[in-house]
């Protein structure tokens, strides 16, 4: 085929592929324009997951009438004039592609009024073509409405996810900008319902309450430069205490000069700050702002500006690692994590008093550790009681005789084939998992109603997932109902969690689903069961009586798959009599 210059409308749609990948991309670009216009309030309205309508309204400086049509021309921008300006760039946008790309794949209207003008300007475009322009009264600021996204590129519509997924992506975009700009008031309405809002009072802590939830925020530690110092690379924000962690680095959120970035090296720096303080396969929750001179960072290395390049990457890595390490090591368990407003403090206290404790004390005498088999049996804990007649199920392990407990974590037992070391937590997880799976097959949820309903604060995305999976959660013993913005009321929990705090187990599985995994009903229930079992199982370091250890082994012996916990870790280690004899030189 001969070389040809592409028609302008084809070139515009190709460029749009880099900037406008999905509805969340449109929201991102329009929010950045609003922030660059010094907006103090930004409202986003969405319908149909962004396919039908996206409207972003701001109270920024607006666009002069004579410049309004030029805003939709490719490479037209007020933020950059020469290549040298990239070295001192302090705006989020700079390429002049976003509005042109959006207009080329949607029906767009814009109503804008410059702060010094007496009347506003209305423009209507379709497929990149300007169809109408007129004067119209309006407050200062800009309202951009995007309808029928990808109406002229149906192939691209096929690559969009479900409305639920697209709504979640839009929420994530808005939450990130709310974190980066806590002094700006943000609100998001999806299909006529307010799903997220901040007050714009400048408090990052209060924004995190709305985005992460109270239970997580109460366990965060402030990260800030040493008092009296103004380092060339400043790092501030919040990071989790070592006891709060997740299975991936997806919960480490980084901003460079107000711009959200994805940087594997900096995420690694945050994780490395917890060296020896957190399990190697676990990662903290962190929201960190990195501030350095614009000349020290190149933002023009990625089509969507999601990645940046530093002039001195080692210095930035070191600054982040030192700041987080200093916060974690300097944290005092008796000191407040951060200062909330009086209203938020009252909410924290209310949630704390209303929520059951994380783990019930078993009222055991610590002298029971390692007692031999002749000890007097005690009543088994309700946590270890069997739910059915075990003799109805075939034995999958040989009968064992308990010798004792090691480090309040491992049960020592003997059998004809030798010695066994049983991980009490992993073994109990396996037992509970199989109980739940049998109950699920029979649709008989183990539920325990609370004496008084209590409320939990959850992030907006988590609340939406709960609403979408209420029936699945009810099938497993949870009885929840939405209760205001970012709150749910709990009426019942699975019996296994009746003496535990269900918030962490539910939050973790929902957070996993929020990362984009397909969540059909069966997949959701299976993951939720795993989390419930993990939270309800006896813990490492928990002293068990002889009767409790015996009850646990009796149930493990009748499990279908007793050799591993639901997560794949071994429940027991077998050392044969022959191996013992060899170790002692008797072979």
For position 231, what pLDDT does the model report? 85
Question: What percent of the chain stands above pLDDT 70?
Answer: 75
Residue 285 to residue 239: CA distance in whole angstroms: 6
Q: Domain spans of the chain? A: 8-194, 219-336, 356-587
Residue 358, pLDDT above cutoff 60 = no
Residues in contact with 355: Cβ distance below 8 Å, sequence separation at least 6, in sequence order:
215, 454, 456, 501, 503
* Region of poorest pLDDT, from 190-204, 250-264, 383-397, 480-494: 383-397
pLDDT confidence of residue 3: 52
Given 3.40.1280.10, 3.30.565.10, 3.20.20.140, 3.40.50.280, which CATH number is that of 8-194? 3.30.565.10
Alpha helices by DSSP H, 391-501:
424-441, 460-468, 470-475
Each residue's pLDDT tens digit, 294-304: 888 877 655 55
pLDDT at 226 over 70: yes
pLDDT at 517: 46
- The b-or-e profile of 180-194 (16+ CB within 10 A means b, else e) is bbbebbbbbbbeeee
Answer whether residue 520 shows pLDDT above 60. Answer: no
User: What's the mean pLDDT in 553-575?
Assistant: 88
**411-449: pLDDT as tens digits:** 999 988 889 999 999 999 999 888 878 877 776 656 777
pLDDT of residue 485: 75
Confidence of residue 376 (pLDDT cuts 50, 70, 90): very low
Topology classification of domain 219-336: Ribosomal Protein S5; domain 2 (3.30.230)
pLDDT at 292 over 80: yes
Q: Which residues contact 42 (CB under 8 A, 6 or more apart)?
A: 31, 34, 35, 56, 57, 58, 177, 184, 185, 186, 187
The top-scoring range by mean pLDDT among 341-345, 448-452, 506-510 is 448-452
Taking residue 219's Cβ as centre, other Cβ atoms within 10 Å add up to 15
Which residues sit opposite 287 in a β-bridge?
238, 253
Is the full-model pTM beyond 0.85? no
Residues in the chain: 587
Query: What per-residue confidence (pLDDT) applies to 87?
Result: 53
* Residue-wise pLDDT tens digits, 67-93: 899 888 876 665 544 445 455 556 675
- Identify the pLDDT of residue 148: 94
For residues 506 and 528, give the distance between their C-alpha atoms in angstroms, rounded to a whole number.
7
Average pLDDT for residues 331-349, to the nearest whole number?
47
* pLDDT for 282 beyond 60: yes
| Fold adopted by 356-587 | formyl-coa transferase, domain 3 (3.30.1540)
Tokens of 564: 């591993």
Q: Considering the chain, what is the average pLDDT of its residues?
A: 79
| Sheet of strand 259-261: strand arrangement | 220-223, 234-240, 286-291, 252-256, 259-261
pLDDT for res 46: 97
Q: For position 12, what pLDDT does the model report?
A: 53
Predicted confidence at residue 137, as pLDDT, reads 92
Comparing 151 with 333, the larger pLDDT belongs to: 151
| Closest of 236, 196, 217 to residue 323, by C-alpha | 236
């Amino acid at each position: 085929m001969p070389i040809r210059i592409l028609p302008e409308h084809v070139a515009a749609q190709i460029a749009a592929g880099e900037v406008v990948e999905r509805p969340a991309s449109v929201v991102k670009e329009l929010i950045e324009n609003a922030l660059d216009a010094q907006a103090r309030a930004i409202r986003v309205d969405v319908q149909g997951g962004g396919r039908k309508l996206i409207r972003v309204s701001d109270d920024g400086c607006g666009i002069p009438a004579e410049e309004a049509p030029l805003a939709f021309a490719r490479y037209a921008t007020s933020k950059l004039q020469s290549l040298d300006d990239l070295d001192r760039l302090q705006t989020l946008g700079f390429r002049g592609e976003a509005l042109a790309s959006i207009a080329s794949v949607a029906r767009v209207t814009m109503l804008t009024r410059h702060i010094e003008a007496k009347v506003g300007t209305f423009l209507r475009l379709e497929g990149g073509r300007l169809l109408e322009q007129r004067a119209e009264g309006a407050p200062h600021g800009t309202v951009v409405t995007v309808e029928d996204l990808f109406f002229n590129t149906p192939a691209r519509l096929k690559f969009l996810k479900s409305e639920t997924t697209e709504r979640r992506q839009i929420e994530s975009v808005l939450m990130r900008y709310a974190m980066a700009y806590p002094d700006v008031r943000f609100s998001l309405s999806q299909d006529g319902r307010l799903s997220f809002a901040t007050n714009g009072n400048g408090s990052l802590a209060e924004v995190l309450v709305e985005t992460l939830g109270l239970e997580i925020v109460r366990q965060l530690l402030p990260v800030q430069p040493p008092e009296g110092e103004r380092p060339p690379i400043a790092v501030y924000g919040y990071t989790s205490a070592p006891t709060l962690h997740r299975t991936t680095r997806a919960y480490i959120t980084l901003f460079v000069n107000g711009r959200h970035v994805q940087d594997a090296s900096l995420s690694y720096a945050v994780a490395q700050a917890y060296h020896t303080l957190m399990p190697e396969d676990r990662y903290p929750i962190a929201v960190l702002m990195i501030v350095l001179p614009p000349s020290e960072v190149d933002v023009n290395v990625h089509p969507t500006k999601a990645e940046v390049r530093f002039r001195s990457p080692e210095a930035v890595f070191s600054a982040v690692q030192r700041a987080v390490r200093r916060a974690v090591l300097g944290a005092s368990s008796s000191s407040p994590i951060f200062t909330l407003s009086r209203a938020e403090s009252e909410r924290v206290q209310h949630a704390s008093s209303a929520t059951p404790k994380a783990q019930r004390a078993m009222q055991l005498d610590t002298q029971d550790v390692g007692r031999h088999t002749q000890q007097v049996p005690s009543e088994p804990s309700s946590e270890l009681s069997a739910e059915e007649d075990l003799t109805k199920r075939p034995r999958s392990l040989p009968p064992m005789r308990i010798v004792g407990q090691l480090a309040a974590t491992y049960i020592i037992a003997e059998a004809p084939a030798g010695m066994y070391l049983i991980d009490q937590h992993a073994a109990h997880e396996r037992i509970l998992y199989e109980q739940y799976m049998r109950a699920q097959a029979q649709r008989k949820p183990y539920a325990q109603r609370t004496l008084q309903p209590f409320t939990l604060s959850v992030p907006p995305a988590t609340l939406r997932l709960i609403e979408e999976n209420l029936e699945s959660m009810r099938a497993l013993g949870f009885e929840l109902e939405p209760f205001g913005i970012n709150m749910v009321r709990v009426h019942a929990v699975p019996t296994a969690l009746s003496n535990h705090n269900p918030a962490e187990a539910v939050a973790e599985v929902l957070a996993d689903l929020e990362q984009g995994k397909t969540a059909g009903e069966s997949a959701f229930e299976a993951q939720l069961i795993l989390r419930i079992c993990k939270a309800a199982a006896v813990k490492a370091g928990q002293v068990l009586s002889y009767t409790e250890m015996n009850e646990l082994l009796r149930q493990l012996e009748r499990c279908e798959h007793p050799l591993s916990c639901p997560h794949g870790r071994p429940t027991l280690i077998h050392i044969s009599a022959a191996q013992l004899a060899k170790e002692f030189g008797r072979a």
